[in-house]
Amino acid sequence: MNKLLRKYGTQPIFYQFFRKMKLTILIVTVSILSCFSAETYSQTTKLTITENNSTLLNVLRTIEAQSEFKFFYNEKVDVNKQVSVEVTQKSITEILDKVLSSTSVKYKVLGRQIALYDKNEMEPFISEQQQGKKITGKVTDQSGAPIPGAAIVVKGTTIGITSDSDGNFALSLPSEAKVIVFSFIGMKSQEIDITGKTSVNIIMEVDAIGIEEVVAVGYGVQKKANLTGAVATVNSKELVAVTSPDFSNALSGKLPGLRVQTLGSEPGVYDNQIDIRGWGSMLVVVDGIPRWDFQRIDPSTIDNVSILKDASAAVYGVKAANGVMLITTKKGKAGNNEITLNSSFGFEQMTDYPRAIPNSIDNLILKNEAALVAGNPLPFPDYKKYTGEDPNYPSVDYWKLTVRDKMPMSKNDVSFSGGTEKITYYISLGNLHQTGIYKTNSMNYDRNNFRANLSAEIVKGLTANVIFGGMMDKRDDPYGGSSYDFMKQVWMQPPYEPVYANNTSPYYYDGQADRNPVAIINSDLTGSRQYQMKKFETTMSLAYDVPFITGLKVKGLFAYDVQYNIGTEWRKAYNEYKYDVTAKNYIPTGINNPTQLRKSFDEYMISQYQVSLEYKKSFAGGQHNIESLLLVDRRNTFGDGFGAQRYFSLDAISQIDAGLTDNQVTWGSNKILDGNMALVGRLNYNYRSKYLTELSFRYDGSSLFPAESRWGFFPAISLGWRISEEPFIKDNFSSISNLKLRMSHGVMGDDSGAGGFQYISGYNYPSDNYIFDGKTLTSGSSSKGLANPNITWYTATTSNIGVDGNLWEGLLDFTVELFQRKREGLLSTRAATLPSEFGASFPQENLNSDLSQGFEFVVGHSNKINEFSYNIRTNLSFTQQKWLHYEQSSAGNSYLNWTNVNENRLQNMIWGYGAAGQFQTQDEINTSPVQNANGHAALFPGDVKYVDWNEDGMIDSHDRYPIAHNEIPQTFFGAEMSGGWKGLSLSLLFQGATGYSQTPTEQLMGPLPWGRNSLTIFLDRWHHQDPLDFNTPWVPGKYPISRDGFGFGPNKETSTYWVVDATYVRLKSIELAYVLPVNWAKRIKAKQVRVYTNAFNLLTWKSKGVLFDPEHRGTGDGGDNGYKYPVMASYNLGLSITF
Partner 1 sequence: MKQRFKYICSLLVITTLSWTSCTKFLDKQPVNVLTETSILSDKAAFTTHMAYLYNQIPFENFSKWIWLSYYTDEMVNCRQDAGTSEEFSFNSWGSSYTLIRALNNMIEKVPSATAFTTEKEKTEALAELKFIRAYVYFTLVQRYGGVPLITEVSPLPASGDPAELYKARDKASDVFKFIETEMESAINGMSSETSVYRFNKWSGLAYKSQAMLYAASIAKYEEVQLNGVIGIPNSEANHYFGVARDAAKLLIETGPFALYSQDADKVKNYHNLFFDKSNTNKERILVDAFVFPIKANRFDLFTAPFSHRGGEGYGGRFDPTYDMAESYEYTNNANGAIKLNNPDGTPIRYANPADLFKDKDPRFLASAIFPGSPWMGTTLQIYGNVIEGGVLIGGNGADGLSQPEGTATGFYLTKWADPAPPRPIAYSSSDVDKMMMRYAEVLLNYAEAQLELGNEPEARKYINMIRERAGLPAFVNPVTMNDYRHERKIELAYEGNRYWDLKRWRIFDDVIYNTDTYALWPIYDKDNNAYIFTKAKLPSDKYTRTFTSKLYYSRLDGGIIASNPLLVENPGY
Q: Under rule CB under 8 A, which residues in 889-928 are in contact with partner 1?
A: 889-892
132, 766, 962, 1036: which one binds partner 1 (CB under 8 A): 766
376, 649, 732, 897: which one binds partner 1 (CB under 8 A): 376
CB of 554 to partner 1, least distance (A): 6
The piece of 321-329, 685-693, 837-845, 1129-1137 that touches partner 1 (CB under 8 A) is 837-845
The piece of 229-237, 346-354, 1006-1014, 1094-1102 that touches partner 1 (CB under 8 A) is 1006-1014
Is 675 a residue that touches partner 1 (CB under 8 A)? Answer: yes
Of the two residues 832 and 1099, which places its CB atom closer to partner 1 in the complex? 832
Name residues contacting partner 1, limited to 457-496 (CB under 8 A): none
CB of 269 to partner 1, least distance (A): 24
Is 755 a residue that touches partner 1 (CB under 8 A)? Answer: no
What is the C-alpha to C-alpha distance for residues 62 and 51, in angstroms, rounded to an integer? 9
Of the two residues 408 and 766, which places its CB atom closer to partner 1 in the complex? 766
What is the C-alpha to C-alpha distance for residues 859 and 106, in angstroms, rounded to an integer? 43
Closest among 168, 160, 103 to 136, alpha carbons compared: 168
What is the C-alpha to C-alpha distance for residues 605 and 602, in angstroms, rounded to an integer? 10
Name residues contacting partner 1, limited to 536-595 (CB under 8 A): 546, 548-549, 552, 554, 573, 576, 578, 589-594
Q: Can you tell me whether residue 1019 is helix, strand or coil?
A: helix
Name residues contacting partner 1, limited to 516-535 (CB under 8 A): none
Of the two residues 84 and 589, which places its CB atom closer to partner 1 in the complex? 589
Residue 1114 near residue 1108 (C-beta atoms within 8 A): yes
54, 351, 360, 612: which one binds partner 1 (CB under 8 A): 612
CB of 695 to partner 1, least distance (A): 17
Name residues contacting partner 1, limited to 183-242 (CB under 8 A): none
Name residues contacting partner 1, limited to 694-723 (CB under 8 A): 701-703, 707, 710
What type of residue is 384? K
What is the C-alpha to C-alpha distance for residues 3 and 211, in angstroms, rounded to an integer? 11
164, 287, 1044, 1071: which one binds partner 1 (CB under 8 A): 1044
Name residues contacting partner 1, limited to 618-637 (CB under 8 A): 630-632, 634, 636
CB of 707 to partner 1, least distance (A): 7
Query: In whole angstroms, how far apart are CA 538 and each of 427, 558, 560, 890, 1108?
Result: 14, 8, 5, 52, 42
1012, 1021, 1066, 1068: which one binds partner 1 (CB under 8 A): 1012
373, 656, 786, 1017: which one binds partner 1 (CB under 8 A): 786
777, 906, 1035, 1084: which one binds partner 1 (CB under 8 A): 777
Is 845 a residue that touches partner 1 (CB under 8 A)? Answer: no
CB of 611 to partner 1, least distance (A): 6
Residue 149 near residue 112 (C-beta atoms within 8 A): no
Closest among 299, 286, 296 to 325, alpha carbons compared: 286
CB of 167 to partner 1, least distance (A): 45
CB of 656 to partner 1, least distance (A): 16
Of the two residues 632 and 859, which places its CB atom closer to partner 1 in the complex? 632
Write the binding mask 933 to 962 for partner 1: x where contact by CB under 8 A, - elsewhere: -x---x------------------------
Of the two residues 330 and 367, which places its CB atom closer to partner 1 in the complex? 367
What is the C-alpha to C-alpha distance for residues 973 and 255, in angstroms, rounded to an integer? 10
Looking at residue 41, what DSSP letter applies? H
The piece of 22-30, 353-361, 757-765, 1083-1091 that touches partner 1 (CB under 8 A) is 757-765
CA atoms within 13 A on the CB side of 1005: 25
673, 906, 1035, 1135: which one binds partner 1 (CB under 8 A): 673
196, 727, 774, 917: which one binds partner 1 (CB under 8 A): 774
- Quote the radius of gyration of the chain (alpha carbons, Å): 34
Residue 33 near residue 336 (C-beta atoms within 8 A): no
649, 783, 921, 922: which one binds partner 1 (CB under 8 A): 783
371, 807, 939, 1067: which one binds partner 1 (CB under 8 A): 371
408, 780, 962, 1036: which one binds partner 1 (CB under 8 A): 780
Closest among 567, 24, 486 to 264, alpha carbons compared: 486
SS3 for 441-494, per residue?
CCCEEEEEEEEEEEEEEEECCEEEEEEEEEEEEEEEEECCCCHHHHHHHHHHCC
CB of 613 to partner 1, least distance (A): 6
CB of 889 to partner 1, least distance (A): 5
Of the two residues 387 and 833, which places its CB atom closer to partner 1 in the complex? 833
**Burial status of residue 52 (CB atoms within 10 A of its CB: 0-12, 13-18, 19 or more):** exposed
Of the two residues 590 and 753, which places its CB atom closer to partner 1 in the complex? 590
Count of residues in contact with partner 1, rule CB under 8 A:
95
Of the two residues 102 and 669, which places its CB atom closer to partner 1 in the complex? 669
For the chain, helix (H) and strand (E) counts, in that order, are 16, 59
What is the C-alpha to C-alpha distance for residues 1071 and 986, in angstroms, rounded to an integer? 6
Residue 120 near residue 104 (C-beta atoms within 8 A): yes
What lies within 8 Å, CB to CB, of 747 at 6+ separation is: 311, 314, 714, 715, 716, 795, 796, 797, 798
**Burial status of residue 923 (CB atoms within 10 A of its CB: 0-12, 13-18, 19 or more):** exposed
Of the two residues 27 and 374, which places its CB atom closer to partner 1 in the complex? 374
What is the C-alpha to C-alpha distance for residues 471 and 268, in angstroms, rounded to an integer? 12
Which string of b and e fits 924-934 if b means at least 16 CB within 10 Å?
ebeebbebbee
Name residues contacting partner 1, limited to 57-76 (CB under 8 A): none
Name residues contacting partner 1, limited to 592-611 (CB under 8 A): 592-594, 611
CB of 600 to partner 1, least distance (A): 16
CB of 391 to partner 1, least distance (A): 20
What is the C-alpha to C-alpha distance for residues 77 and 14, in angstroms, rounded to an integer? 14
Is 1028 a residue that touches partner 1 (CB under 8 A)? Answer: no
CA atoms within 13 A on the CB side of 975: 8
What type of residue is 6? R
Name residues contacting partner 1, limited to 864-893 (CB under 8 A): 889-892
384, 671, 905, 1082: which one binds partner 1 (CB under 8 A): 671
The piece of 86-94, 331-339, 405-413, 833-841 that touches partner 1 (CB under 8 A) is 833-841
Query: In whole angstroms, how far apart are CA 971 and each of 799, 926, 995?
Result: 19, 42, 6
Looking at residue 1, what DSSP letter applies? -
Name residues contacting partner 1, limited to 495-514 (CB under 8 A): 512, 514
- Our CA angle for 763, 768, 774, nearest 5°, is 125
Is 776 a residue that touches partner 1 (CB under 8 A)? Answer: yes
What lies within 8 Å, CB to CB, of 24 at 6+ separation is: none
CB of 480 to partner 1, least distance (A): 9
Is 28 a residue that touches partner 1 (CB under 8 A)? Answer: no
CB of 659 to partner 1, least distance (A): 13
**Burial status of residue 1007 (CB atoms within 10 A of its CB: 0-12, 13-18, 19 or more):** buried
Is 778 a residue that touches partner 1 (CB under 8 A)? Answer: yes
Of the two residues 428 and 645, which places its CB atom closer to partner 1 in the complex? 645
